[in-house]
Amino acid sequence: MPAENTRLTAQAEALEAGFRHALDHLNGLDHRSVAATRTPSEIRSRLSGHLPAPQLGEDPKRVVDALVDACEGGHLGSPSGRFFAWVIGGTLTSALAADWLASAWDNNAVNQACGPAACAVEEVAGGWIKSLLGLPTEASFALTTGCQMAHATALAAARNALYAGIGHDVEVEGVSGAPPLTLLTNDQRHGSIDRAARLLGLGAKALVAIPTKGTGRISPEALTQALIDHRGPKIVVLNAGDLNLGAFDDFASLIPLAKAHGAWVHIDGAFGLWARVSPRFAPLVAGVELADSWATDAHKWLNTPIDCGLAFVKDEAAHRRAMAFRVSYITAAAEGRDPMDFTPEWTRRGRGFALYAAVRELGQQGIAAMIERCCDLTKDLVEGLAQLPQCEVVAYPVLNQALVRFTDPKGSDPDADDRRTDAMIAAINATGEAFFSGSTFGGRRVMRISLVNWRTSADDIRRTLACISDLARNLT
């Protein structure tokens, strides 16, 4: 068995090398630059070279070590406690370990025939999430790559149900020849809604933005008018935490109104739907359970590894009709749930393992405590920035999102302040001490603050404020 022993030794050495490199990366987050220190072109040049001769290849450990070395400096420190850009969480320890195991087990989690344990764990974890979020027990669910595909999945179910209601089988006939389907959305909608409409063949013209007049919240009067103005099948898309203000639509008022006009109601709750778990913030999502479908991300506020989105659909039959497919070479489950009946994927990793681990590690109280801690730290950061004469707070946090702008205290040139804000973001990121992203709100450039990472601490906020304060003194 010498050859077998050699193979097992090489396998162990490569996997142990990967484990050590991963630990080194995680243990260095507090002192490593949050920003990448090498550009993609520099990384490409370090990776370039001739493909190894087919008959030779390379030792697995050498490959792992070389890959780590070539990519050194090319990783964004998004798992760091001082990463405030976009809405990206860290990864809980058990969820990371479970994700490693998912790769080692290497089952296709598409049905029970291919991944028995993966499907069982996904079914249990999905039920837990429904309970945590207070969604209807009868709702079906799907694990997807992220909220983008969660929207596409839920809206495919909506398309199916709405067209079925007028006698059109969209899964057979397609959208050609069917009455146009309109999506009435908050004017602060995320771009993933637009892409979902395109993926589903509805097109950008199907999207109608309802003005929120700077509040980020649709008024009942504005929704009523939009519902009257647009005849035919309709989907109303409401926000549970928009990307700029973190604003929540008034679900208890708007959802019954939309349903009275025959509309399907979909909730974009990429991060904000998790407020439901916190007793302090749950009132923000009061009435959200009245909707027809919901989309959220576990890799945001539950801090699973990327990628893990979730779609929930109250009408399981519509969800299944939109996604399920039967052929002779696929073995369907005799009992229980086959994930492929609810997702657009035919091949998928076992995302349920990390989801299951994250919920077990934190529990309901732990998730609530993490959410509230993130919101408190967001407030601390914004209040600290408000003390700087060069910083204007555009939007204080409702939850975990805020907007600030860097201005000349003696000036009155908004265009110059736009440039100053973008320059400040770049300067902060260049230090490597913290990382932020920009946005445009009300026609003006702002710095977004978003905090969903379990690692972020009071010391991270202190370090970030010290960095920005030093830079602001030299801001011109």
pLDDT per residue of the chain (476 residues) written in tens, 0 to 9? 667 777 788 999 999 999 999 999 999 999 999 999 999 999 999 997 767 666 678 899 999 999 999 999 999 999 999 999 999 999 999 999 999 999 999 999 999 999 999 999 999 999 999 999 999 999 999 999 999 999 999 999 999 999 999 999 999 999 999 999 999 999 999 999 999 999 999 999 999 999 999 999 999 999 999 999 999 999 999 999 999 999 999 999 999 999 999 999 999 999 999 999 999 999 999 999 999 999 999 999 999 999 999 999 999 999 999 999 989 888 888 888 999 999 999 999 999 999 999 999 999 999 999 999 999 999 999 999 999 999 999 999 999 999 999 998 777 799 999 999 999 999 999 999 999 999 999 999 999 999 999 999 999 999 999 999 999 988 76
Residue 80 placed within a domain: no
Same domain, 397 and 465: yes
The CATH number for 369's domain is 3.90.1150.170
Nearest partner of 294 among 324, 321, 264, judged by Cα:
264
Task: State which of 361, 381, 404 marks the end of a domain.
Answer: 361
Q: Are 398 and 284 in contact (CB under 8 A)?
A: yes
Instruction: Verify that 357 and 374 share a domain, yes or no.
Output: no
CATH number of the CATH domain containing 107 = 3.40.640.10
| Tokens 């657009």, residue located | 344
Cβ pair 474, 111 in contact under 8 A: no
Q: Residue 111 is encoded by which pair of tokens?
A: 């049905």
> Could you say which of 313, 329, 361 is where a domain stops?
361
301 and 324 fall within a common domain = yes
Shared domain for 299 and 409, answered yes or no, is no
In a domain? residue 87:
no
Last residue of a domain, one of 317, 335, 361: 361
**Integer angstrom CA distances of residue 82 from 131, 149, 248, 332:** 31, 28, 26, 46
For residue 306, which of 122, 74, 146 has the smallest C-alpha distance? 146
Residues 135 and 276 in one domain: yes
Based on DSSP, count helices (H) and strands (E) in the chain, helices before strands.
Answer: 15, 11
pTM: 0.96
Q: Is residue 83 part of a domain?
A: no
What distance, in Å, lies between the first and last C-alpha atoms of the chain?
Answer: 71
Domain-embedded: residue 90: no
Both 259 and 141 in one domain: the answer is: yes
Please tell me whether residue 133 adopts helix, strand or coil conformation.
helix
Residue 61's domain comprises 2-72
Cβ contacts of residue 398 below 8 Å, gap of 6+? 241, 245, 246, 247, 248, 284
**Could you tell me if 357 and 369 lie in one domain?**
no
Q: Which helix (H) or strand (E) holds 197?
A: helix 191-199
Is residue 91 domain-resident?
no
Distance (Å, whole) CA 165 – CA 202: 17
Whether residue 85 is contained in a domain is answered as no
> How many domains is the chain built from?
3
